[in-house]
């Protein structure tokens, strides 16, 4: 159902590495102080991650519509949600895309984290995009979401996310 099984704590590090790879690419496509244009993002450069990527168009009032949704995410939901709003999803799925707060993108900075959901980890990443060069604020969000089942054993936290850190780091 779109879930991957966590084999070890190193799987968490690979999730963070994937996020950092995407952030590095996003940073290479942007100008200082602004989000990159959607047209400047080459899907080929993100080929290894496309199955976990979605793009949302913001409506300016806190809502968002899917413009693209990767196969792993489509399989998780059980439908192609292109053209549908996040609010059209059942809450268990809508909460995936609300992670990080879509309204927090004014600073044109990446938002990322790994959340322990009990039996799973949810690695999420939110990157603001502009649709047009004339757009001052982000009008779209590139989302990377990976949900992985954990092994059933006790483990200590292995990552740290600090609001001032530009990247996720191992604890």
Please give the average pLDDT of every successive group of 10 residues along the chain, which has 171 residues.
39 70 94 90 94 91 90 86 90 78 68 79 88 88 86 54 55 48
Give the chain's domain count.
Answer: 1
| Distance of alpha carbon 85 from alpha carbon 102, whole angstroms | 13
Instruction: Measure the N-to-C terminal CA separation of the chain; round to a whole number of Å.
Output: 31
**Per-residue pLDDT at 164:** 53
**Domain containing residue 8:** 4-170
What CA–CA distance (Å, rounded) separates 108 from 88?
Answer: 26
Query: Would the pTM of this model clear 0.85, i.e. be above it?
Result: no
Q: Which residues contact 137 (CB under 8 A, 6 or more apart)?
A: 106, 130
Report strand pairing: 159-160 vs 53-58: unpaired
- In this structure, what CATH number is given to the domain that contains residue 20? 3.30.450.20
d(CA 40, CA 122): 27
């Amino acid at each position: 159902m779109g879930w991957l099984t966590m084999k070890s704590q190193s799987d968490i590090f690979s999730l963070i590495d994937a996020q950092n790879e995407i952030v590095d690419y996003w940073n290479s496509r942007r100008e200082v102080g602004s989000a990159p244009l959607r047209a400047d993002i080459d899907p080929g450069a993100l080929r290894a991650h496309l199955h976990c990527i979605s793009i949302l168009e913001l409506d300016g009032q806190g809502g968002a519509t899917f413009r693209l949704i990767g196969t792993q995410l489509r399989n998780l939901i059980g439908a192609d949600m292109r053209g549908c709003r996040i609010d059209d999803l059942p809450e268990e799925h809508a909460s995936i895309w609300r992670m990080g707060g879509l309204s927090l993108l004014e600073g044109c900075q990446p938002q990322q984290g790994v959340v322990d959901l009990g039996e799973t980890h949810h690695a999420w990443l939110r990157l603001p995009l502009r649709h047009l060069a004339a757009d001052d604020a982000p009008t779209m969000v590139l989302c990377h979401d990976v949900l992985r089942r954990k092994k059933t054993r006790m483990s200590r936290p292995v990552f740290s996310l600090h609001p001032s850190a530009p990247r996720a780091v191992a604890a």
